[in-house]
Structure 1
């Protein structure tokens, strides 16, 4: 059985030299230190090209706020073309730089897999063979100019062992038929649905959850407990 795709090179390629020329226009003061300082060492910064409300000084996701181009993107005609080549709704788009010697510690970003409705795409602009992702224990290098998918809901970490900063264009795409067809053409293997219908429930905690639900005595909750119990016993049989 083929394993689900935790990462995938998509059949899209972009002009690295043109992208490098455009990002060279930005000053050091245009970049924002990543707010999650506990997640990395030695320098991780962001330059928003599309953000909530189009604010060039804002890098966090916000509910009920439309995404829009920031003023930075107006200076990048080729990067606008790259983003527009994705025939789907685009939420956040940003340049993400990882300094030489920097490390992003292992973590998960829930809700960023193709099946979740928001698909995160990386396009390396400046990189080297010393820039390595570790995704569910597998080490991968994302080559420059290609579009790469990474299921960021998996355990992943990044390190830049090179001597120069790494810069990726990172785009959050809203999953649609065009994107699903693109992934299928690249050989994407989807993850199976969660066994218990909820990714937070697994064989290690399901019996405790069943007992807790039964303890409530509520008919609707008891029905949920029995559904989980039936799945558990069917698998164990």
Structure 2
């Protein structure tokens, strides 16, 4: 297996996931703040946020987060969140509308080697949703639980006729998560390498970033070039 992505050994109940989703579905979901990263409609509502408000969908690393009132109304979502024995940061529901696309991008410090892991629990998805990480399709199904290294190039295309909705949990790495990832086959020796990525991966990331023109991506490209050997 690869450290790029893998399925975690949890299977959640589809009916209970949909029950809690129905509590949230008619509330105020906000368009995702990275407007350059998608086409169509990509919306979110917060279950855990910095302000404690469900409309606060911004995710900032190392900030202090608190549960929203909405999370406390969703018993099954809360049970899932509590089952992860590590500190949680942002927790959101993310909905990608039918026919919409999240463009290829990278999330800075978005991988386990950065002391962070983002967990996806699909609530509503199907085989016509393409979730691609580092050039490989991630075959997520309803009720499953997945980790991916989002510091690698990734994209999502919803070719179906319904919204793709995931529960997304941002977590901090600790001994419990190390043991969990070890059970899943995560290769910790990769982290001990001098560079986080090999040259081929670095060049691939640079090529993807060069498609996006912004001061942030230019800075990332320079950082990655400095890792080439």
TM-score after normalising by structure 2: 0.81
| 4+ long deviations beyond 6 Å | none
Q: What is the Cα deviation at residue 74 of structure 1?
A: 1.8
After the TM superposition, which residues 52-201 of structure 1 pair with which residues of structure 2 at under 5 Å, given as runs? 52-62=50-60, 65-190=63-188, 192-193=190-191
CA RMSD in angstroms, aligned pairs only: 2.7
SS of the aligned residue for 2:24 comes to coil
Evaluate the alpha carbon distance shift between residue 64 and residue 128 of structure 1 in structure 2; reply closer, same or farther with a 3 A threshold.
closer
Gaps of at least 5 residues in structure 2 are 204-225
Does residue 45 of the first structure (1) align with residue 43 of the second (2)?
yes
CA–CA distance in 2 between the matches of 1:42 and 1:100? 8
Q: What is the Cα deviation at residue 192 of structure 1?
A: 2.4
Give the conservation status (yes or no) of the 8 Å contact 1:42–1:103: yes
TM-score after normalising by structure 1: 0.79
CA–CA distance in 2 between the matches of 1:181 and 1:13? 18
Worse-superposed segment, 23-32 or 124-133 = 23-32
Q: What is the Cα deviation at residue 135 of structure 1?
A: 1.1
Give the conservation status (yes or no) of the 8 Å contact 1:127–1:166: yes
Gaps of at least 5 residues in structure 1 are 206-227, 233-237
Match of 2:217 in 1: none
Evaluate the alpha carbon distance shift between residue 27 and residue 20 of structure 1 in structure 2; reply closer, same or farther with a 3 A threshold.
closer
- Per-residue Cα deviation, 1:156-190 (whole angstroms, up to 9, x for no partner): 00011111101100001111111111111112234
Aligned length: 206
Q: What is the Cα deviation at residue 18 of structure 1?
A: 0.4
SS of the aligned residue for 1:192 comes to helix
Q: What is the Cα deviation at residue 65 of structure 1?
A: 4.1
CA–CA distance in 1 between the matches of 2:189 and 2:138? 19
CA–CA distance in 2 between the matches of 1:132 and 1:166? 10
